[in-house]
Chains A and B, each alone.
Chain A
Amino acid sequence: MTHQEFDRHSPAGPNRRTVLKGAVSAAALGSTAGLGALTGPALAQDGLRAQISQIPGIGKGAPTDADWQKVGELCLGPTKANVQAGEFKGVELSFMGLNNQNLHNLLFRGFLKPWEAYTGAKISWIDLAQADYNPRLQQAIATGTVDFDVLEMGAPFEGDVCGKGLASEMPDWVKKQIDIEDYVDYLKPPVGTWNGKTYRVTIDGDCHNFNYRTDYFSDAGLAKAWKDAGNPGEWGVPKTWQQVQAVTKFLKGQKFKGQNAYGYLDAPKPWGGFGFYFLGSRATAYAKHPDDKAWLFDVDTMKPRINNPAWVRAIQDVIDALPSEPADQLNADPNTTGFQQFLAGIGAMIPWWGDIGQVAKASDTSVVGDVVGFDILPGSDDVYNAKTGKWDKLASGPNHAPNCAYLGWGIYVMARVNGDEKKHKAAWSAAAHIGGKDLSLWTVMYPSGFQVHRASHFKIDEWVAAGYDRKYITSYLNSQLGSYNHPNRAVEPRIPGIFQYYSIAEDELAKIFAGKSNAQTGADNIAAAWEKLTDQIGRDKQIALYKASLGV
């Protein structure tokens, strides 16, 4: 299916282009309306945003600690408006977060150094690898040994933390300082809130998009071979999973630029639960029906859907595609597919979070920066209707259901600071500084582990001024915003223990992909284990939290 056909099939509903146009128009309208009264500050802010987006400049090497400190220093304005110099002298805060790929906490240290110098507060750091994060957090919660004041955390854990009263409610002055209304719609409440109270400073927007190699799909030699092999339609970027499968099988045995050509790259190796998202990205188009908010469990009973025909089809797709992927693909986790394969020039298609788009262009480790394109995840010609038990073909064309996996990182302040007014204000000030509107522009432009999450991040001119290629960044931002605002997006449930479900599934999927059981049997095993886990955690409470997370 071509781009034109895709657009023709979805003229009635919002698509990524109309949504992006709307967002840009709204942003333009907003800035015009305020022009009379705010010309001075607005210009100053624009100047600041332009200035920080040049540190160090796209294509000028990976940012360093000095760059992070410089950005932190330049973005101190909102802090200075709410906090006096030296106001937090004597306050010591403990900050727990990640150190993945030398990002996250390492950036926060740089951003917060000027904040510490200005406010007088001191921060001690608890750095965790991604795989250690969940157990460390769960142990702290379960044993009542929360030893941190500020926490970097993903929305899926809100049930564990906010639901147990361990987080501090966000004060109104913080909402104003970070301009909370600027968040994209899918990250607005209920995400970041619990029982109507706001807890989270959002610093990231997570959604799997589709990353593909433009040079593969514009190559005349491959196009000819595709035709010669008798494949239907034109050679081009797949728009459905059926096309992804066909392209992946076709590329097996082909040569491209003198090397073995590969199509889609699956990530079958377990990855501490996070690998399940990648099966999810294959499954949502089959499993997430536009008339049904649920796609992972039945709403009223928490009965797993992992063994329904939609999920089994996605699992079978992996089984069918693996023989056409690199010989050691069984030992590839998402880190391998993203950073050691795709960015190193192996494979033509992967789903991933927006990191790929950031790193492909702004990091020294990538060799594909000029030949990457982006889109929302592929759709499916038919979608499974869990209520009727039948496959539906939609009148609007293929069913798309972007996988809003993980819902992004946020900064949370723990309730243990509530008793100390000075510490409470200091903790929230630190969180607000990291999650500041201008500073966030820098984090989404450069390798940071964080992706676009505010309406103000979609001004393409700002990205072009920073050094991004207009075509490249337009494609990237379209894929992100098109996913966030898609009417049939598949939003992850924020229920306690969600990563336990994923981890159990990963073990069984590894067996299926290694040929130890078939897709249906393996999926039935996962479903049985999930039922047991739901009972162990508490079925009634899980059902209530699942409903709340879906907004039903």
Chain B
Amino acid sequence: MQISAAVADGGHHKPAPRPNLARRKVAGRALVAIASLGGLFVLLVQILHTTGTIRAGFTDWRPILYAYLLWSIALGVGQVMIRGERGLRALFLLPAVLFTIAVVIFPTLFGFYIASLDWNLSSLEGPHFNGLDNLIALFNDTYYWNALGNMLFYTLAVLAEYAIAFGLALLLNTDIRARKFFRVVFLLPLMLSPVAVSWMIGKSLMEYRFGPAATLARSLGWDNPAFFAHPWIARGSIDAMDAWVSIPFIMIILLAGLQALPKEVLEAAKVDGANGWQSFWHVTFPIMLPVSITVLIIRIIFKLKLADIVINVTAGGPGGATDTVSSFIYRVYRDRSNVGYGTGLAIFYLLLIIVFLSVLLRLTSRRMQKVA
């Protein structure tokens, strides 16, 4: 009964690790350890070289990137050697994680460091640490707060964009003639670059002297149709251009939501005697709320980054009336080479956006629960 005994043993005890597997695990750990130590050593040498502590080092930071790539490869190989099949599975995720660390997490952390520097590219003495001075300066910067105030207007304008987009989505969801054609036509603005829109519309169609929009406005009785010379008109004009590009995005998401609506609910409302408005307000709109909130949040995120149209058409004017935080940071960073302060402004804005969106998500989540 040797065979049955062996089968019984196999059911209660793990097979003893094969010697080559153990060696492979040790080799894997050694590989990761050596790669990590090597990478840290190269990084340390370059930091000491850059700070002037030692003479040896590289002329630039590119070798550190190569070291990171080598370490990443070693880490991947090491995972397979140490963890076998599970290591292989990890390889599906590891490159994405390492890539995210390299291009998102590290730059963000590095941004915090840059934001703590007094670094003007024209300064003969180069950058130096100035702690929270950039943050303090930011609180006294009237241009920054003016731009934030404008962002409030631009963000609230998203609600109007949403209303228009909802109307268009409802229209395209009905059985109208040439529905497919209109769906494509309404999507066209979304395919245009905002820079192209700035030139085609802002600097051509709305041009004061020869623009067709200005000519039309004159024929309608507006003597001096200057779209960008008065604060509120300029703000409205900028937002109209941005809205024209973005409404199709909101519309297409809402349209997808509408098409997924259960027909029975709407038919039941009809049977109960609800008119069109009641059917929309008490049935369609509440059911569409999750889609609406998702698209509104995405649109607000896009809106908070508004810069290109402003930079091209008004440069923030007249007198800062159309300035956005991004277009102001662009001037601080690009025209004034004020790297430390510009980065500080950007980091603070990032934190504001994160807080704002977190609060918004929490509030909408509560609202959704109530609706549910």
Contacts and interface: CB of A to CB of B under 8 A. Distances in A.
Given A144-B60, A536-B118, A496 B124 contact: yes
Interface residues of B, number: 37
A470 interface: no
Interface string B306-325: 00000001111111110000
Contact of A330 (B60, B118, B318, B336): B318
Contacts of A499: 335
Interface in B72-129: 118, 120-126
A515 interface: yes
A507 B337 contact: no
Interface in A329-354: 329-331, 333, 340-341, 344, 346
A84 interface: no
A510 B121 contact: no
Nearest to B333: A135
Interface in B224-262: 224, 226-229, 231, 234
A328 B335 contact: no
Given A138-B121, A138-B122, A513-B318, A326 B208 contact: yes
Contacts of B122: 138, 160, 496-497, 500, 537
A328 B120 contact: no
A514 interface: yes
B319 A327 contact: no
Contacts of B123: 496-497, 536-538
A327 B231 contact: no
B187 to A, nearest CB: 31
B226 A541 contact: no
Interface in A445-483: none
Contact of A328 (B126, B208, B315): B208
A331 B317 contact: yes
B120 A516 contact: no
A533 B60 CA distance: 29
A252 interface: no
A134 B321 contact: no
B120 A536 contact: yes
B331 A507 contact: yes
A504 interface: yes
A424 B224 CA distance: 58
A273 B335 contact: yes
A139 interface: yes
A504 B315 CA distance: 13
B334 interface: yes
B199 interface: no
Contacts of A268: 317
B316 A328 contact: no
B143 interface: yes
B179 interface: no
Contact of A331 (B228, B320, B335): B228
B282 interface: no
A515 B319 contact: yes
Contact of B318 (A141, A144, A514, A533): A514
A303 interface: no
B229 A330 contact: yes
Contacts of A163: 124
B125 A538 contact: yes
A510 B317 contact: yes
Interface residues of A, number: 49
A511 interface: yes
Interface in B24-80: 59-60
B209 interface: yes
A388 interface: no
B364 interface: no
Contact of A145 (B60, B208, B226, B319): B60
A326 B210 CA distance: 13
A516 B336 contact: no
B335 A135 contact: yes
B118 A513 contact: no
B12 to A, nearest CB: 65
A518 interface: no
Contact of B320 (A138, A344, A346, A511): A511
Contacts of A513: 318-319
Contact of B336 (A340, A500, A514): A500
Interface in B330-346: 331, 333-339
Interface string A165-183: 0000000000000000000
Instruction: With a 10 A CB-CB cut-off, give which of A139, A500, A538 has the most chain B CB atoms.
Output: A500
Interface in A495-552: 496-497, 499-500, 503-504, 507, 510-516, 533, 536-538, 541
A269 interface: yes
Interface in A40-97: none
Interface in A116-132: 131-132
B331 A331 contact: no
Contacts of B125: 538
B208 A269 contact: no
A328 B210 CA distance: 12
A515 B227 CA distance: 17
A411 to B, nearest CB: 22
Contacts of A273: 335
Nearest to A159: B122
B121 A141 contact: yes
Contact of A270 (B121, B208, B313, B315): B315
A272 interface: yes
Interface in A347-394: none
Contact of A503 (B120, B126, B321, B336): B336
Contacts of A533: 120, 336
A373 B118 CA distance: 49
A142 B314 contact: no
Which one of B316, B320, B336 has the greatest number of beta carbons of chain A within 10 Å? B336
A269 B317 contact: yes
Contacts of A138: 121-122, 337
Contact of B335 (A344, A500, A541): A500
A510 B228 CA distance: 13
Given A327-B224, A500-B122, A538-B125, A270 B336 contact: no
A300 B60 CA distance: 39
B229 A331 contact: yes
Contacts of A515: 319
12 contacts: A132-B334, A135-B334, A135-B335, A144-B59, A269-B317, A330-B319, A497-B120, A503-B336, A511-B320, A514-B318, A533-B336, A538-B125
Q: Sorted from nearest, which 8 A-B pairs have the closest CB atoms?
A: A514-B319, A497-B122, A328-B226, A327-B224, A328-B208, A503-B335, A142-B121, A138-B121
Interface of A: 131-132, 134-135, 138-139, 141-142, 144-145, 160, 163-164, 268-273, 326-331, 333, 340-341, 344, 346, 496-497, 499-500, 503-504, 507, 510-516, 533, 536-538, 541
Given A327-B224, A330-B318, 8 more contacts: A131-B334, A134-B337, A142-B126, A330-B319, A331-B226, A510-B316, A514-B321, A537-B124
